[in-house]
Amino acid sequence: MSDLQPSMQDIQEIIPPLSSALHKGQAGRVGVVGGSEDYTGAPYFSAISSLKFGADLAHVICELGAGVVIKSYSPDLIVHPYLRKSTKEPELTVDEIVEKVIALYPRLHVLVFGPGLSRDAYMLETTKKLIQVAREKEIPIVIDADGLYLVQKDPDVVKGYRKAILTPNVVEFKRLCEAMGIENSTASKEAMAEELSKAFDGVTVVQKGHEDIISNGKIVYTCSAEGGLKRCGGQGDVLSGAIATFLAFGIAYENRVWKHSSNIPFADIVPIAAYAGCLAVRSCSKKAFDRVQRSMQTSDLIHEIGPVFQEMFEQ
């Protein structure tokens, strides 16, 4: 295990330049699968954050009852209300829903699964199949919130997929360890994150907490940048959108959308993207908290993304 951080040069290396030579979509197209009648804020925060961090386009694939609500939050998001919750007689089968959603996959570089998904059985079954198709098509994925509940119940859905990033909080991390047969020992958080990643056969794990610990089973990054002192619901959703955007940048880098001399393999870009997302969101949280203190909400954090990105990565 190595305890280190990626260099700022490596992070900046994978960020597409602002250039008139690039056309719409080349700097990243992110899809967020989540959002139900009761939970509409989470997918919005994830998708709008991906745009604020620099993705060109953001799609939200949500449940029918969430679609109009999420559309009303922002005209910048492309909303597809294709998902369905369990009813006595759903008008669409799971396979029919999956076919509608995967028709969007050629338009996307990265997928986020989980924000506002709910634990409805029909929604979870649909999401499981959507993840399986994403694996087959080798689309990088980020899994958070109720998506992690799905992984906890069926670890094989992501096990061995090294283009996947899991973003558990303290409670979710403990449950994932239990699901993978890892005892809660006195080992360091870094060692535990590495062990969990190895149990998932190389899936990158982002253990959120006082420090964010990122491991793909081979390396361990520790992000201890100062954040805000207020914890409000939605910050994890911002992180999922940030990480997805840096992954999308990595796709553009790998496809040589612009000229660059370095050769960072995508296997290394995955944990770099996770670290960059953690670093940026912590910095946004600190800026927002310094400005509004105890009244800070996730929307305050989102307003800081542009200035923080400029200050951290464009210099």
Q: How far apart are CA 51 and CA 170, in angstroms?
A: 27
Q: How many CB atoms lie within 10 A of CB 69?
A: 16
294 annotated binding-site participant: no
Plot region of 54 (φ>0 → left; ψ -120 to 50 → alpha; else → beta) = left
Is residue 178 a contact partner of residue 140, using CB atoms and an 8 Å limit? Answer: no
* Residue 289 is assigned to a ligand binding site: no
For residue 113, say whether it is annotated as part of any ligand binding site.
no
3: number of Cβ within 10 Å: 11
- 230 annotated as a binding-site residue: yes
The reply, when asked if residue 34 is annotated as ligand binding, is no
CA distance 132 to 238: 24
Angstrom distance (rounded) from CA 27 to CA 17:
9
Has 236 been labeled as part of a binding site? Answer: yes
183 is in an annotated binding site: no
62 is in an annotated binding site: no
Tell whether residue 160 is among the known ligand binding residues. no
The answer to whether 210 is a known ligand-binding residue is yes
The reply, when asked if residue 231 is annotated as ligand binding, is: yes
284 annotated ligand-binding residue:
no
Q: Is 65 annotated for ligand binding?
A: no
Q: 214 is written with which tokens? A: 């990122």
The secondary structure of residue 106, as a DSSP letter, is G
Which of 172-193 are b and which e, b meaning 16 or more Cβ less than 10 Å from the residue's Cβ? Answer: bbebbbebbebeeeeeebbebb
Closest CA to 84 of 71, 107, 100, 104: 100
Q: Dihedral of CA 158/161/163/167: which sign?
A: positive
The response to whether 235 counts as a known ligand-binding position is: yes
16 DSSP assignment: P
Q: How much of the chain is helix, strand and coil, in % rounded to 5?
A: 50, 15, 40
Q: Is 292 annotated as a binding residue?
A: no
260 is in an annotated binding site: no
Q: Is 169 assigned to a binding site? A: yes
Q: In whole angstroms, what is the distance from residue 89 CA to residue 92 CA?
A: 9
Q: Which residues are annotated as a binding site for (6S)-NADPHX?
A: 116, 169-175, 237
Q: Which residues are annotated as a binding site for ATP?
A: 208-212, 227-236
Q: Which residues are annotated as a binding site?
A: 116, 169-175, 208-212, 227-237
